[in-house]
Structure 1
Amino acid sequence: MKNWMWVLLILVGSVMVYFFWPNEDRLPAMKSVEPFEMETMEGSTYDSENNKIKLVAFFYTNCPDICPLTFVDLKQLQKQLKDKDKFGSEVEFVTITLDPEFDTTERLVRYAEAFDVDSTGWKVVRTNLDYTNEIATDFQMNFKKEDNFITHGTKMFLVDNDHKIRAIYDMANPEEKVDLNQILDDLDYLLQ
């Protein structure tokens, strides 16, 4: 009888440990990325080393589908984060153009205005093509320009304040929007 009690006690204890032990693996660090500095659409310098959680996406203004659809979804996420008083203060979006030769600061401003980008927490940035390649490679994001069209990866990256990628999301496409609920959930987890 006593052996049976010990087995039951061990079993109950194991189950409790499994369910109530803090789960550090929810958003494990996938890889570290190097901090970077780029030019904002307003012409100032953006430094990613600012202790904020970032949602990083690559785009270009001539993109016919994925990029503008993603910006529409990010506009909704911007509003939700503002409602939580996290936008700009603790969380920011960093959208990096893959076509810096065409996407001048003036063109980026016009593009951002079309999506009601609030630059206090949404950084639309550019740099020279070599540095753009370097940053994209660091994020393992491939792209190639042919004529005026750029084929590019369609992932966004959740980066914590220590420059570690903690989650990767699909950008929008004509059939599916960005999973804003998952991003908000993950942001809430990292903000705790």
Structure 2
Amino acid sequence: MKKQRLLIPLLFITVAILLSACGEKELEDPLEWEIDNISGTTQAGEDFAVDDMEGKVWLANFIFTSCDTVCPPMTRNMTKIQDQLEEEGIEAEIVSFSVDPEVDTPEMLKEFAQAQDADFSNWSFVTGYSQEEIEEYAQDSFGTVAQKPEGAEQVSHGSSFFLVDKNNEVMKHYKGETDVPYEQIIEDAQILADQ
């Protein structure tokens, strides 16, 4: 009889654990791209390193301040995501890497970001590395192009948004310029934040 009394609560605990584990959502087809470190300076003139992002969920993209095509709308789209993350109570950071670092000063990045209504409380705009470093970094870590031809003012670069997990692995990428899948991004960020 004593054994039965002990087994019943144990059975309930086991079932509860199994049910709670079933409720955890998983990302669909995660990329799991490991990313390298890169160091720079933020729009506030503070030191930044990707290695310091470990333990955080974050979104990344690549922009530059004199961009006359995709960067302003992409940044406004990221602002919408930032607002939605806050509304849902999801803790996530945002990092926008300048692909024109020799032109983009921290002050220029700050001005550009403010013009797109970015909130700096969890969003860093980063510069302060060489052109060659960011071109290699974009390609090697994020699988995206970033190229400034000799003598050109505009930089060719990808317009994706990248979702990075707490282990500094790119888990997803999304369209960042048009037809942005806002709901999917928020859902995926929530899944990573809960892990």
Q: Which residue of structure 2 aligns with residue 13 of structure 1?
A: none
2:180 is aligned with what amino acid? Answer: V
**Counterpart secondary structure, 2:103:** coil
Query: Residues of 2 paired with 1:94 and 1:33: CA distance?
Result: 14
Q: Which residue of structure 1 aligns with residue 73 of structure 2?
A: 69
8 Å Cα contact 2:98/2:126 also seen in 1: yes
- The offset of 1:84, in angstroms, is 2.7
8 Å Cα contact 1:70/1:178 also seen in 2: no
Does residue 57 (structure 1) correspond to residue 73 (structure 2)? The answer is no
Q: Which residue of structure 2 aligns with residue 162 of structure 1?
A: 167
Query: Residues of 2 paired with 1:63 and 1:178: CA distance?
Result: 19
1:121 is aligned with what amino acid? Answer: N
Query: Residues of 1 paired with 2:38 and 2:89: CA distance?
Result: 26
Query: Which is further off, 103-112 or 24-33?
Result: 24-33
Deviations 1:135-176 (A, max 9, x none): 21222221222311111122221110101111011121xxx3
Deviations 1:45-102 (A, max 9, x none): 123223111111001112122111111111111111222333xxx3011000100111
- The offset of 1:178, in angstroms, is 1.9
Of residues 144, 155, 166 in structure 2, which corresponds to 1:150? 155
- TM score, norm. by length of structure 1: 0.79
Query: Which is further off, 55-64 or 142-151?
Result: 142-151
Alignment of 1:1-192 (within 5 A): 24=26, 26-48=28-50, 49-50=52-53, 51-86=55-90, 90-128=91-129, 129-137=131-139, 138-146=141-149, 147-172=152-177, 176-192=178-194
- The offset of 1:124, in angstroms, is 0.4
**Counterpart secondary structure, 1:168:** strand
Query: Residues of 1 paired with 2:174 and 2:110: CA distance?
Result: 25
Query: Which is further off, 23-32 or 35-44?
Result: 23-32
- TM score, norm. by length of structure 2: 0.77
Moved over 6 A (4+): 20-23
5+ long unaligned stretches in structure 1? 1-19
Identity among equivalent pairs (%):
28
Query: Which is further off, 181-190 or 34-43?
Result: 34-43
**Counterpart secondary structure, 1:55:** strand
- The offset of 1:38, in angstroms, is 1.7
**Counterpart secondary structure, 1:149:** coil
Would the alpha carbon gap of residues 110 and 26 (structure 1) be closer, same or farther in structure 2, given more than 3 Å must change?
same
- Measured on the aligned residues, the alpha-carbon RMSD in Å equals 2.0
